[in-house]
Amino acid sequence: MSRLVVAEWMKLRTTRAWIGYLATLVGLAAIAAAGTVGSAEDFRLGTSELSREILSAASFSTVLAFVLGIVAMTTEWRHGTVTRTFLVTPRRGRVLVAKELFALGVGLLLAVLALLVVLAVAVPWLEIDGSSFETSGTAGRALRIVAATMLWGALGVGIGAIVHGQTPALVGAILWILLGEALLTAALGLVDAGDVGDYLPGRALSAFDGSDAGGLPMWAGGAVAVTWVVALGVLGHLRMAREDVT
């Protein structure tokens, strides 16, 4: 299993795409952090509320982890390497698990990097303004962002295992998260079932990382998110196990 995970890291490292991913993450996190600090009212400076809001700028890592999870799985079909991969590792479930572990690791690194960038921008800025970054209550928020980013990556792998086409998987998944869940939740609200929308994957993960305070409790959001990761992984495995790739 460890060799399969290492192979996934080598695939990422030997392409130039990782440079673009990192540059995008650093740029977006820095801009978001600067915008949050720069637009903060004077009475909010030095408060734990502002510090938690600043950390939220690192949530861009969730999007990139999601995309990388989908790409890690669908690249096998896009570049025609899936046959060779399954010949080397006939137990297809091991391939899926290795990609899930890889996505979890990528999510961890992306989240940590985003948090470091946010702090590198925000802390000196606050010091120049005669304020400080209040650390009280921020550790929990940071850990939730890291865990949520890891789950987003694993969720992407599950989607890629079900929808093998890279473009349909990326476009469909992103549209669903950005638009589909909101529309479905609104439709459910018309029949007084809007709370059901809180159990959709995107809403659950938002509740877990703290970006959606009006949904599920944090622990419930995390539990629902893990359930979605496992469910999509199982469906992806069933899809892969039955497919003829010769």
**pLDDT, average across residues 116-135:** 85
Q: Largest Cα–Cα distance in the chain? A: 65
Enclosing H/E stretch for 95: helix 92-128
Of 38-47, 55-64, 183-192, which has the strongest mean pLDDT?
A: 55-64
Report pTM: 0.91
C-alpha to C-alpha distance for 169 and 59, rounded to whole angstroms: 21
How would residue 14 be classed by pLDDT, with cut points 50, 70 and 90? confident
pLDDT at 222 over 80: yes
pLDDT at 106 over 90: yes
Spatial neighbors of 151 by CB under 8 A, at least 6 apart, are: 107, 205, 208, 222, 225, 226, 229
Query: What DSSP state is assigned to residue 178?
Result: I
Residue with the larger pLDDT of the pair 226 and 37: 226
Burial class (CB in 10 A: 0-12, 13-18, 19+), 70: buried
Of residues 71, 65, 89, 64, the one with CA closest to residue 240: 89
Q: What is the pLDDT of residue 245?
A: 65
How would residue 66 be classed by pLDDT, with cut points 50, 70 and 90? very high
C-alpha to C-alpha distance for 119 and 22, rounded to whole angstroms: 16
Spatial neighbors of 109 by CB under 8 A, at least 6 apart, are: none
How would residue 86 be classed by pLDDT, with cut points 50, 70 and 90? confident
C-alpha to C-alpha distance for 156 and 164, rounded to whole angstroms: 12
C-alpha to C-alpha distance for 224 and 94, rounded to whole angstroms: 24
- Between 7-21, 69-83, 173-187, the lowest mean confidence (pLDDT) is in 7-21
Number of structural domains, the chain? 1
**pLDDT, average across residues 56-66:** 92
Q: Are 70 and 156 in contact (CB under 8 A)?
A: yes
Quote the distance between the C-alpha of residue 148 and its chain's center. 6
How would residue 228 be classed by pLDDT, with cut points 50, 70 and 90? very high
What is the span of the domain harbouring residue 90? Answer: 2-242
Of 78-82, 93-97, 171-175, 212-216, which has the strongest mean pLDDT?
A: 171-175
What digits encode the pLDDT tens for the residues 132-168? 777 777 888 899 999 999 999 999 999 999 998 899 9
Query: Phi and psi at residue 240, in whole multiples of 5°?
Result: -70, -40
